[in-house]
Structure 1
Amino acid sequence: MLNEFAHEIWTADGPDVAVAGFHYPTRMAVIRLSDGGLFIWSPIELTDSLRAEVDAAGPVRHIIAPNSLHHLFLPHWKRAYPGAKLYAPPGLRRKREDIVFDADLGSVPSPDWIEEIDQVLMQGNLITTEVVFFHIKSGTVLFTDLLQQIPADRNSGWRAMVAKLDLMVGPEPSVPRKFRVAFTNRRAARKSLDYILAWPAQKVLMAHGTPVEKDARVYLRRAFGWLTA
C-alpha cells in the first residue's frame, strides 16, 4: 500500500526478507517527477495490489537499486515494466550478471531527474558503495542500509543479541557497527558526508527503520558523529 510521505513522494512497506537468518523489514519509495513519470527507489516485492497503486500514480520510468545489497526484486519489476530504465549502483553489475541494466549510478544525477533529485556516492566502505539521494521538493534524504533501525521483535536468541551489538536496534536509526568498521577510507567517506550534510534536509527516509520527520540535519550530524569526530 502506498502511503504519502511528503509532496510527490510515497512509501510502501513490504514483507520481511531474511539475510543469514536475520529478518529485515523492507520499504521502497516512489517519487513522481515533474513529467509525471515515477522514480522507484529500492523496490520491494511487487504484488498485484502494489502494482495497481503504482500504475495509478503514473508510468514507471526509472527503477533504482541504491546499493549492491538491494537487488532481490529487480527482475520482477523489470519484467512488469520493460519500458522503464533499470539503474545499477557500483558493484551490482558484477554481482548480478543475470540482470541487464540500462545505466549506472554515480555521484552525478541523471539528466532525467537532475533538477529534482540530487545524489552522491557514499565512498570508502568495503561492504557496499551506497547511492544516497535527496528529493529536493520535499527535502527528503533517502538512505538504504547505512542507517538502520530493526524492530527488537524481528529477531530472537543470539541473533537478537548480535543485532543489538551491531547497533541495529535502538531508539532511532543509526549506522550499524559493521558498516562503521567497513569505512576504511574515512577521508573519502567524510567528503561524501559533507555533501550530504549540505543538503537542506527536512526528512530522512531509510529502507529499514523509522523515518525521521523533523530536525533532519541535526539528526544526520548525530547519526554520523562517529565519522566526523
Structure 2
Amino acid sequence: MSDTLIPSNPSDVMVIRDVTPNVVTLSVPFLRFNRIPVGGRGTIVRLSSGALAVFSPVALTPEVKAKLVALGNNLRYIIAPDIEHHIFVSEWKTAFPTAVLIGVDGLPEKRSAQNDPKIGKETFDVVFKADTKRTTSISAEFDHDFDYEYVDAHANKELVFLYKPDRVLIQADLIFNLPATEQYSRVPEKDRPIPGFLARQFIGLQTTQGDVKGLKRVIWYAFSRSNRPSFNESIKRINAWDIKIIVPCHGDVIEEGAKEAFEKVFDWHINGRK
C-alpha cells in the first residue's frame, strides 16, 4: 500500500525551495524497497501565463498550499511523468478539480486496478502513447513554455520536460543523482537510515559524480534495452535542448554543469557505444 512508501509526517521533513523564481521543489525522504534512501521530489512551475503546473506531486501539506497561494494558486496542470510517480495525483486533483491531468500509457489502467485509499479513479485528460507522441500536445499555454519528450522506450515510460524560460529539465526516473542529501536534510540525524551493503552499491550506481560507468551500464543494459534505437532518438532530442538545471525525483538537483552531466551519463546513447 502507498502508506508504506511515503513519510508519515511530510510537513516536518519536506524541504520547499525556490530553485528559480518560477521553479519550486518539494523534497521529501523516501526509501526504495524499504531500505534504499533515494528520496522523492515534486516540482511546481509557474508558467509565463501565471498558471501553475505540478510534476510528480508529493503530499499537499499546509506549507505546500501556502506556497501555491504565494505563486497565485492557479494550478492548471497535474503531471504524473511516468508509471511510478502518481500516488498523490488524487489528492491534488481533489483540491484542484479543473486541473488538466497528464500521464503516460498504462498508468490509468494501473491506477484503476489498485485497491489503495490514496489512489482514485480519475480520468486522465492527456495520455502520451508511443505511436502518437509526436502529435500529442497539452495546450497552447503549456506548450509556449515547455518542450517535452515521451521516452516510451524507458522501462518506466518517462515524460521529460524542459521549462524553457529558466532552462530547467524536469524528470522522474530518467536520471538519479544520489545520494539524496537535500531530501533527508530535515530528518533528525537519529532517524536517518544507514544504508547497508546493497543500498550503498545502488547509490554508487545512481550518481552523476565521477566517471558514471555504473550508471551508464544500468541505463544501457536495463532501462533502454527494450527498444534502444527509440531510446537513443529520445535522448538525442532532449540533448538538443538548452539545459541549465536538472531536477530529478531521486537525489540532489543538478545546478552546476547540468548539460555536461546529461551528456556524460548518456554518452553511449548520443555518440554510440565505443
TM-score (norm 2): 0.74
1:74 Cα offset (Å): 1.1
Structure-2 residue corresponding to 1:52:
66
* Distance of 2:257 and 2:33 partners within structure 1: 34
Can you give the 5+ residue segments of structure 1 that lack an aligned partner in the other structure? none
In 1, the alpha carbon distance for the partners of 2:31 and 2:238 equals: 30
* Residue number among 31, 36, 58 corresponding to 1:18 in the alignment: 31
Amino acid at match of 1:68: I
1:154, 1:225 → 2: CA distance? 33
Compare the two structures and name the one with the higher helix fraction.
Answer: 2
Give the match for residue 127 of structure 2.
Answer: 104
User: Is 1:197 the equivalent of 2:239?
Assistant: yes
Q: Considering only CA atoms, is the larger Rg found in Structure 1 or Structure 2? A: 2
Provide runs of 4+ in structure 1 moved above 4 Å: 152-155, 172-179
Q: Pick from 195, 203, 218: which aligns with 2:260?
A: 218
Q: Confirm or deny: 8 A CA contact 1:172 1:210 kept in the other structure.
A: no
1:89 and 2:130 correspond: no
Equivalent residue for 1:156, pick from 174, 178, 195: 195
Query: Could you tell me how far 1:172 is from its partner in structure 2?
Result: 6.8
Query: Is the 2:179–2:203 Cα contact (8 Å) retained in structure 1?
Result: no
**In structure 2, the residue corresponding to 1:146 is in which secondary structure?**
coil
Task: Name the counterpart of 2:12.
Answer: none
Which residue, out of 63, 70, 75, partners 2:78?
Answer: 63
The residue identity in structure 1 corresponding to 2:236 is D
3-state DSSP class of the match of 1:3?
Answer: strand
Q: Which has the higher contact order (CA 8 A, sep 6+)?
A: 2
Counterpart CA distance in 1 for 2:159 and 2:110 is 16
Task: Report the number of matched residues.
Answer: 226
1:168 matches 2:206: yes
Q: Share of identical aligned residues, percent?
A: 26
Deviations for 1:180-217, whole angstroms, at most 9, x for unmatched residues? 31312111011001100111111111111222223332
For structure 2, the residue ranges without an aligned partner over 5 or more in a row are: 1-14, 113-119, 181-191
User: RMSD between aligned alpha carbons?
Assistant: 2.4
Structure with greater proportional strand content: 1
Give the superposition deviation at 1:136: 0.5
Please tell me whether residue 188 in structure 1 is matched to residue 216 in structure 2.
no
* Cα distance change, pair 146–203 in 1 and its aligned pair in 2 (3 A): same
- Name the CA distance, whole Å, in 1 between partners of 2:210 and 2:247: 12
